[in-house]
Amino acid sequence: MYNEIQKNKVDDGSGAIVAIIIVVIVLVTGGFYFYNQRMAEQRALMQTAATAEITNTSDDLNSIKSDLNSMNLDNIATSASKL
């Protein structure tokens, strides 16, 4: 009787292996998604920083003031919060 039960019982562990493979695939896919989201945010910040051009390379006070006045600082708080 015991031998008949053992013959009918199939326990090769394939279910656990399939579950592990599915979990790994989901984790890797999620990792790529979040990585791409982070890179998109970084690219947007870099493009924002690249638009702030300095028009004058002089270091006297009036040149620095004119450069500062020419910059658009309206979105600086939102840009800083994304860092």
The single-letter DSSP state of residue 71 is S
pLDDT greater at residue 80 or residue 36: 36
Per-residue pLDDT tens over the stretch 2-21? 556 566 565 667 888 899 99
Distance separating alpha carbons of residues 42 and 40, to the nearest angstrom: 5
What pLDDT is stored for residue 22 in this prediction?
Answer: 96
Per-residue pLDDT tens over the stretch 55-66? 667 778 887 887
The answer, yes or no, to whether residue 25 has pLDDT greater than 90, is yes
The answer, yes or no, to whether residue 52 has pLDDT greater than 80, is no
Residues 6+ apart with CB under 8 A from 67: 54, 55, 56
